[in-house]
Amino acid sequence: MKIIPRILAHTAIILALVLITLLVFDYLNPSMEFINNTMSKVAIGILCVIGFINAGFVLTAIRRR
């Protein structure tokens, strides 16, 4: 069961890096609207869900110590 928090943490890091890249691209070329499309909105939603789940695992681990 220790593999799930590791996978969630790595997935959150990857999605955060993708969103940072999209923000930079959107700043450099606003006419492409990288942040104003469905793919980026889905990525933001998934990142939020993974963040909440990962926070739950971290808080549970802290309480067990």
Task: Give the model's pLDDT for residue 7.
Answer: 86
Residue type at 6?
Answer: R
**Tally of CB atoms within 10 A around 12:** 19
Stretches where the chain sits below pLDDT 50 are: none
* Cβ-proximal residues to 40 (8 Å cutoff; 6+ apart), any chain: 19, 22, 34
Structure tokens at 33: 């609207």
pLDDT at 1: 64
Per-residue pLDDT at 46: 93
Quick check: 13 and 54 in contact, CB under 8 A?
no
* Burial of residue 7 (number of CB atoms within 10 Å: 0-12, 13-18, 19+): exposed
Q: pTM of this prediction?
A: 0.74
